[in-house]
Amino acid sequence: MSPKDTVVKVNPSMLILNEKKQEIYQNKPTNYDEIKKNIEEQGIITPLLVNKKTNVIIDGNVRLLIAMELGLKEVPVIYKELVEKEMDIKSVSANQQRIKSYSEILKEIEFFEQHYKIKKGQRTDLDPELKKIKENRDTALKGISRTTREKVKAIATLAEDLYGKESESFKGVFNSLDNQKTTLNGLYQHLLDLTQRKQNTKVIPLRYEVIKENTKIYNHSSDDMHEVESGSINAIITSPPYYKMKEYGNGENELGQEREIEEYLLNMRDIFRECYRVLRDDGSLFVNINDCVLGGRYQAIPHFFVLHMLEQGWVLNDEILWIKNNPTYTRGKRSVRSHEPIFHFVKSSDFYYNDSWLKDLTDKEDRISYGINKPNPKVKSGLDFRNGILSTNVSSTSDLRKKCKEEGFYLTHSATFPIDVPSICGLLTTRVGDTILDPFAGTSTVGLFARSNNRKFIGYDLNPEFVKASEVRIGGHLLYWPFSPFEKELSTVPVDNEPEGKVSSEYEILLSYMKPISPNQRKSFSNFTKTYDRCFRTIQKMR
């Protein structure tokens, strides 16, 4: 409002609501009731801006609506001379103070981008006219941060490709954001996963399994592990899907997506009954499980889970605390949860357990010190195990993602645990040559530990993409897993191979020339080593 502006009192029925704004801002602003209360108490303080020629509102749709609701006889108005073609842009630009929903933000972005059109690839720095258009567009959009704009647009593009712009699902995507059922980043990741999974179906068969002598990964639910003989497994190390935390692309029947927690616990009970059957009497089961906050409260899922397991006959032997050095934020009036329990169950007190390696281990570079017998043990380390605490960073899947992409598919799994978890559990309760099972294998972190440390591995997962990613992961990492406390025992269990005699002598000669490549070598000669690595892996697969 400038000093020259004249404010006049006008009957609301003389004014016309701005349709363009109604189209963009369909919902009432979140503070509508507050504005209404203020107007009720103090009247309309900021005058409405109105097009002199047409009586259409430039700025003040909400105030006019409230005035009509309250039956006000007069509202303060400033009339503006505006040519028709400027009407939309001026009225939408005037709306920068409003608290907007994400659907409104999207419509506003689309409106401004349409108005200040810049074609893809056009150089705005070379053309003064385009430069001006860009400046105007940036000014118009300055109320919305660049990151928000980019995410909202990316979400719209992904949702449009998946469902079509006019579909109910498309609206549902933005409704879930507007109703705060999900976050911008969470929704973006979810839609990206769906898109990439759709693309994966073109290259990964509906069922994909890895069946080698010492590594078997089955692609079906682990509630039936008929391929595994009763009493044949030395250790089971696993992390089931947490209740309502993540979707793994396995449809409605996926564990963790049940309507009720009790149903989730019962489904898990079926799987752990199978685990009981296949585990040796001296074997161990480690389960990493976490709670979730629903309706503003923790659900005590790990506690109920333990009770179900005790009912099933398991003996609870230990609880290791996994502390995440870099946890994600926990919402609400509570502390950030940086720990997860790992429950150690056994079938009887006569189980195999070896913790002597904790005392014996040395670390050449003196970066990690293990065990209580060290003169100066360090507290922070991947394998620090004193006081039953395992402290690590959360794992990253970025390297594996890259590798999967090189192999022609996307990895959409983001809930893997760090290798330290199966390392501790596996070294404590298995020997070289033993068999380790993971009934929720995911990307086979457990398999990677097992095969890198001369144990056999059996995994189950519903999603063929994860089985394929496991194959990529185990195949590659067998070559340069940097740490094995049992080096002297290595090679007592062969890598997955054909029966002896089938291997040609040329192949033996070739293999004798090719050695695994260390991570440092990989860094310095990345292109060469990548090719070399592939050759080595291919040859290994041929064995």
Measured from the CB of residue 312, what is the shortest distance to ligand SAM in angstroms?
Answer: 17
DSSP character string of 261-297: HHHHHHHHHHHHHHHHHHEEEEEEEEEE----EETTE
The crossing angle, in degrees rounded to 10, of helices 168-178 and 102-115 is 110
Whether the CB-CB separation of 58 and 88 falls below 8 Å is answered with no
Question: What one-letter code names the amino acid at 196?
Answer: Q
Nearer to ligand SAM, 49 or 237 (CB): 237
Q: How far is the CB of 442 from ligand SAM (least distance, A)?
A: 3
Distance CA 197, CA 191 (A): 10
Question: Any contact of residue 416 with ligand SAM (CB under 6 A)?
Answer: yes
DSSP label of 250: S
**Site map 469..498 versus ligand SAM, x via CB under 6 A:** ------------------------------
Residue 422 Cβ vs ligand SAM, minimum distance, rounded to whole Å: 8
Least Å from the CB of residue 461 to ligand SAM: 4
Residue 392 near ligand SAM by CB under 6 A:
no
Task: Give the nearer residue to ligand SAM in terms of CB position, either 382 or 439.
Answer: 439
* 51: contact with ligand SAM by CB under 6 A: no
Under rule CB under 6 A, residue 340 binds ligand SAM: no
Q: Which two tokens stand for residue 401?
A: 């993602």
In angstroms, the CA 111 to CA 59 distance is: 17
Distance of CA 15 to the CA centre of its chain: 50
Q: Is 415 a residue that touches ligand SAM (CB under 6 A)?
A: yes
**Which CB sits closer to ligand SAM, 384 or 438?**
438
Shortest spacing between CB 438 and ligand SAM, in angstroms = 7
Nearest in space to 111 (alpha carbons), one of 97, 95, 126: 95
Q: Minimal distance in Å, beta carbon 254 to ligand SAM?
A: 5
Site for ligand SAM in 244-263 (CB under 6 A): 248, 250, 254-255
Of 240 and 283, the one with the shorter C-beta distance to ligand SAM is: 240
**What are phi and psi for residue 46, nearest 5 degrees?**
-90, 120
Binds ligand SAM (CB under 6 A): choice among 222, 369, 392, 429:
222
Residue 10, interface with ligand SAM (CB under 6 A)? no
Q: Toward ligand SAM, which CB reaches closer, 106 or 411?
A: 411
Residue 237 Cβ vs ligand SAM, minimum distance, rounded to whole Å: 8
Q: Which helix (H) or strand (E) holds 233?
A: strand 233-238
214/463 with CB nearer ligand SAM: 463
Q: How far is the CB of 243 from ligand SAM (least distance, A)?
A: 12
Q: Can you tell me whether residue 382 is helix, strand or coil?
A: coil
| d(C-alpha 146, C-alpha 93), whole Å | 17
Q: Which of residues 418-457 bind ligand SAM (CB under 6 A)?
A: 439-440, 442-443, 445
Q: Which is nearer to ligand SAM, 60 or 442 (CB)?
A: 442
Q: Which is nearer to ligand SAM, 89 or 321 (CB)?
A: 321
Instruction: Work out which of 18, 95, 234, 239 binds ligand SAM, going by CB under 6 A.
Output: 239
State the Cα–Cα distance between residues 40 and 347, nearest whole angstrom.
71
Instruction: Give min distance, CB of 134 to ligand SAM, in A.
Output: 45
- Taking the complex as a whole, the smallest distance from the CB of residue 274 to ligand SAM amounts, in Å, to 10
The region that residue 454 occupies, defined by phi over 0 for left and psi between -120 and 50 for alpha, beta otherwise, is left
Nearer residue to ligand SAM within complex by CB, 291 or 461? 461
Give me the residue whose beta carbon is nearest to ligand SAM.
442
455-474 residues in contact with ligand SAM (CB under 6 A) are 460-463, 466
Residues 6+ apart with CB under 8 A from 518: 480, 482
Query: How many amino acids of this chain bind ligand SAM (CB under 6 A)?
Result: 23
- Containing 195, the helix (H) or strand (E) segment is helix 184-200
Q: Count other C-beta atoms under 10 Å from residue 419's C-beta.
A: 20
Element (H, E) at 159: helix 146-163
Q: Which of 214, 215, 221, 429 binds ligand SAM (CB under 6 A)?
A: 221
What is the distance between the alpha carbons of residues 434 and 454, in angstroms, rounded to a whole number?
Answer: 8
Contact 306, 316 (CB under 8 A): yes
Measured CA to CA in angstroms, residue 468 lies from 28, 335, 400, 411 at distances of 48, 38, 11, 9
Nearest to 237 by CA among 342, 317, 330: 342
CB 516 within 8 A of CB 536: yes
Q: Taking CB under 6 A as the rule, does residue 241 contact ligand SAM? A: yes
- Distance of alpha carbon 1 from alpha carbon 543, whole angstroms: 81
Q: Which of 466, 536 has the CB closer to ligand SAM?
A: 466
Least separation in angstroms between CB 417 and ligand SAM: 5
> What is the DSSP-derived secondary structure letter of residue 12?
G
Looking at the Cβ atoms of 112 and 243, the one nearer to ligand SAM is 243
Minimum distance of ligand SAM from residue 204's CB (angstroms):
14
Q: Which chain residues interact with ligand SAM by CB under 6 A?
A: 221-223, 239, 241, 248, 250, 254-255, 413, 415-417, 439-440, 442-443, 445, 460-463, 466
